[in-house]
Amino acid sequence: MKLEQVIVAVSRADGPVAFMAFLTVGRGNVLPSGAHWLHTPGEDATKPASGASGWWSREPTELAIMREIEACPETPGGAGITGWRVLKTGEVPADRTYRNALIDTGTAIVHDMDRARAVHRGRIRAQRNIALAELDAQWMRATGQGKKADADRIEAQRQKWRDAPADPRIAAATTTGELSAIVSGG
């Protein structure tokens, strides 16, 4: 036997869509809600098969899925959930670059471009923090050594990094591909 699952898109009021793997066939010593033990003929159907843990099966019913959602620590009792649906194979995007910008329209998983732009700006800011630490050290050395031309060149690079999150191409981007093509910094 092998594990089997369906993927559920869970829409949350406070953010991007979450993906939950709902096991329909699993193994363990605890029987999940709505599941039954899978046995070979002659085994006791009230206990796990084959010793301490066994295989179980359950249907992905609305009640079973809602119980799993309600049991999640992030959504106790289903708090903040605006909806959910079982996805078809291949509906979850393979590219997770802008994962925190995904939303479920009810018929497709798509990127919310305002959120994708915010994710991109956040990545630029993280890159900027690393670059500015190095550039600040270079600028201090050049200034301390009286190398005005080097200090001015480094300052121009620092300013490019400071301006990078406000790049107008980010606001103009209409796809995540366009966002990914925007490389920041010096």
If phi > 0 it is left, if psi is from -120 to 50 it is alpha, else beta; for residue 93 that is: beta
For the chain, the domain total comes to 2
For residues 57 and 81, membership in a common domain is answered with yes
Instruction: Write down which residue in 74, 94, 111 finishes a domain.
Output: 111
| pLDDT tens, residue by residue, 103-115 | 999 999 999 999 9
CB 38 within 8 A of CB 1: yes
Instruction: Write down which residue in 84, 111, 138 finishes a domain.
Output: 111
For residues 9 and 72, membership in a common domain is answered with yes
Residue 185, in any domain of the structure: no
What pLDDT sits at residue 72? 85
Q: Tell me how far apart the alpha carbons of residues 85 and 92 are, in angstroms, rounded to a whole number.
A: 12
What pLDDT sits at residue 30? 86
| pLDDT tens, residue by residue, 35-56 | 988 876 666 666 655 555 688 9
For residues 96 and 149, membership in a common domain is answered with no
Q: Pick the residue with more confidence: 185 or 127?
A: 127
Residue 186, in any domain of the structure: no
For residues 118 and 172, membership in a common domain is answered with yes
For residues 120 and 97, membership in a common domain is answered with no
Whether the per-residue pLDDT at 14 is higher than 70: the answer is yes
pTM higher than 0.85: no
Q: Tell me how far apart the alpha carbons of residues 183 and 133 are, in angstroms, rounded to a whole number.
A: 19
Residues 6+ apart with CB under 8 A from 178: 169, 172
For residues 147 and 136, membership in a common domain is answered with yes
Domain span including residue 153: 114-180
| pLDDT tens, residue by residue, 115-159 | 999 999 999 999 999 999 999 999 999 999 999 999 999 999 999
For residues 17 and 103, membership in a common domain is answered with yes
Q: Which uninterrupted H or E stretch holds 121?
A: helix 113-144
For residues 141 and 89, membership in a common domain is answered with no
For residues 9 and 87, membership in a common domain is answered with yes
What pLDDT sits at residue 15? 80
| pLDDT tens, residue by residue, 166-181 | 999 999 999 999 999 9
For residues 73 and 31, membership in a common domain is answered with yes
For residues 134 and 172, membership in a common domain is answered with yes
Instruction: Write down which residue in 68, 93, 111 finishes a domain.
Output: 111
For residues 129 and 149, membership in a common domain is answered with yes
